[in-house]
Each structure stands twice: as C-alpha cells, then as structure tokens.
Amino acid sequence: MILCTNSPRCAEEFFSASPGWTSGLSECLPREIHEAARRLLPAAPIACASIDVTPPWSYGLLVDHAPRSQFDILVSALREGCAMPDGLLCLAGSGEGFHGQRGRTWAAVRGNIHLSAFFTPRCTLSEIATGLTVLPAVSLIQALDAIPGLEHRANIRWVNDVVIEGAKLAGYLVHTQSTAGRVTGAVVGIGLNVEAIPPVAPTVFVPSVTALRVHASDPRASTVPEILHRLLRCLALNYEKLVSGRSRDLLELYRERSVVVGRRVEVYPDLEGSTAVPAATGTVTAIGDQLELVLEGASRVISCGRIVMPSSVTATIGRSLA
C-alpha cells in the first residue's frame, strides 16, 4: 500500500514500521489520490512510503489530527462524483467532528483507531446491502477474538455498537451510493478504543465506554499496530466474502455474536431526547435478514430505533459514575 501522510512519526506509530519516506506526492500517483489527499490531508508537507498491508488496501491517507471527520469527507466526495480508488484507507491519530449514528459525538482521542475506508464493490444493492452493513461489526469481532484474554468476550449491540461486558468498545458507520441498483461506492467508518477511554457522558443507551487495554491479558497483543493489522486483515477477508456472494456468512456471525438475542429490551425512537416512552418492549427472539429485530409476541418487527436492556442499565451507569 502507498501511504501518504502529513506525519511520518504518527504513521510509524500506527504501523510499527520505519519505511523510506519520500517528500511530496509523486506525479506518478493516480489523479484520484491527489484529489483525495487535497481533501483529507491539511495543508502541510506530505510524505509517502510503501507499507506492507494485505490487499485490497491500495492507497492510504493518514493525518496526525483531522480537523473534520474523514468519514464525512469521503461521503461528500462520493456525493460530488469525485472518483476514488477501490481500497482507499484513511486513518487519523486524533480529530474533531467525528461522530456516530445521527451525528452523535464520538471523541477521537490519541491512542485509539479512527479508520475510514472506501470501496467500489460494483455489486447489486440487494446482493450486499445487509452484508455491507455488518462488515465492520464482524471484522471487529474477529480481530478482537484473536487477542489473548478477549476470545469470545466482545459482542454486538444492535445495530452498530461493539461491547464488552456491556461497555461500548467500538462503533461504526456505513454509507453507500448506488446507480441503477448497483453499489458504485461504499464508505465504512470505524472507531475503536484501544489505549484510551474517551470522555463520554453515560446515557441509558450507552451506559459506559471502555478500551482494550482494560480487558486484554497481554498488553503487547493489544497495541494499536497489532490491532490495526488484524482489523485490516479481517476487513479484507470479509470484503472478499461480500463481493464473492458470501454475505450470508457475515450475517450469521453478526447474529451469533449479538448481545440482544434472548434479552428483554426497550426500543426507543432514534431521535435525540426521545427517551420517555419506548416504542416497543419485549424479548428479542431473532434478527431478520435486514437486521430487523423480532420481539416475542409482537405483531411487527423493529427496523430502526435505539435499545435499552433494562436489567443491566442501572448497575452499569452506577459503575461508570463511580
């Protein structure tokens, strides 16, 4: 992978490597990389180097501190019709304006992984819609399972949170654009707490947050370079499954590692401040093919909303405030 950065030091910390850096963007690089660098790297000297990373990662852009969400920049570029290479990887050491679903704030602090990626799957939306949605979740789960002391401890809280013992460890976003029913571009964003627990006020929806360093038995296996390497490999392997017609495999793993199946939940409208009355309550019996929740005895499935698992909320919020 050709990596372009405004901070070789930060890049070497992420990849645990000291490649031979060259100054500036070579004219030999594709025009799309020059355009992406203009959007994603602040005005500063740029250095480039070749990094040994598993395909499909062809090019990478790494910024020491992002003044704006890289995910949002990639989505804007996609909407504007800006051509970008398949397998474009973007990383930030820290940043501002990073967020989760519905614009909810995500603190991008140093010591964690803030990753966005661009793909051009060229598959029909019906073939890969659900698989693409769960791609980051299952890739995170598999990467975490490889860490000593974390095997099978991480789970997925519907729809897009990865948790350990009820505390949020990671979140992700997916945006797709399609033409005539075919996906012409997809942006995936992942935030994973590795070394630092970001300052997040507890809510009934996210009672507490955590970081890998709190749970891993071997600190050497849970560093940013180790986790990033594993995560990129898992994303690559699962993306290959997705575009080769095996997205069902991803959905089954998502279901298997869901923390909500078999639990009683309250589902609230996905609107800020709407926590007074749940739209539905009940025990989750299954997750459907479009990630809808099936509640025991309910006459309809739940396709959107935010969930609370009442049995654990009070105790968890108490611990997070202690």
Per the model's pLDDT, the better-predicted residue between 138 and 310 turns out to be 138
pLDDT band at 39 (very low <50, low <70, confident <90, very high): very high
Structure-token pair, residue 320: 């997070």
Q: Name the amino acid, one letter, at 64.
A: D
* Domains delineated in the chain: 2-256 (3.30.930.10), 264-321 (no CATH)
Q: Name the amino acid, one letter, at 189.
A: G
Q: Shortest CA distance to 62 belongs to which of 221, 232, 195, 200?
A: 232
Q: Lowest-pLDDT range, 88-92, 136-140, 203-207, 224-228?
A: 203-207
DSSP state of 205: S
Q: What is the reported pLDDT for 31?
A: 93
Q: Once rounded to an integer, what is the mean pLDDT over residues 16-37?
A: 92
Q: Lowest-pLDDT range, 66-75, 89-98, 255-264, 265-274?
A: 265-274
| pTM score of the predicted model | 0.93
Per the model's pLDDT, the better-predicted residue between 314 and 44 turns out to be 44
Q: What is the reported pLDDT for 318?
A: 34
Of the chain, the percentage scoring pLDDT greater than 90 comes to: 79
Task: Tell me how far apart the alpha carbons of residues 155 and 17 are, in angstroms, rounded to a whole number.
Answer: 31
Q: What is the reported pLDDT for 275?
A: 59
Task: Tell me how far apart the alpha carbons of residues 9 and 17 are, in angstroms, rounded to a whole number.
Answer: 10
Residue tagged 């009070």 (tokens) = 314
Of the chain, the percentage scoring pLDDT greater than 70 comes to: 95
Strands 47-50 and 2-5: antiparallel
Q: Once rounded to an integer, what is the mean pLDDT over residues 170-176?
A: 96
Q: What is the reported pLDDT for 149?
A: 87
Task: Tell me how far apart the alpha carbons of residues 243 and 144 are, in angstroms, rounded to a whole number.
Answer: 23
pLDDT, one tens digit per residue, over 275-321 is 578 989 999 999 999 999 999 988 899 999 999 998 654 434 333 33
Residue 226 scores a pLDDT above 60: yes
Q: What is the reported pLDDT for 298?
A: 87
Q: What is the reported pLDDT for 274?
A: 55
Q: What is the reported pLDDT for 105?
A: 85
Q: What is the CA radius of gyration of the chain?
A: 20
Task: Tell me how far apart the alpha carbons of residues 166 and 104 are, in angstroms, rounded to a whole number.
Answer: 19
DSSP state of 222: G
Residue 138 scores a pLDDT above 90: yes
Q: What is the reported pLDDT for 311?
A: 66
Per the model's pLDDT, the better-predicted residue between 73 and 315 turns out to be 73
Structure-token pair, residue 127: 């073939």
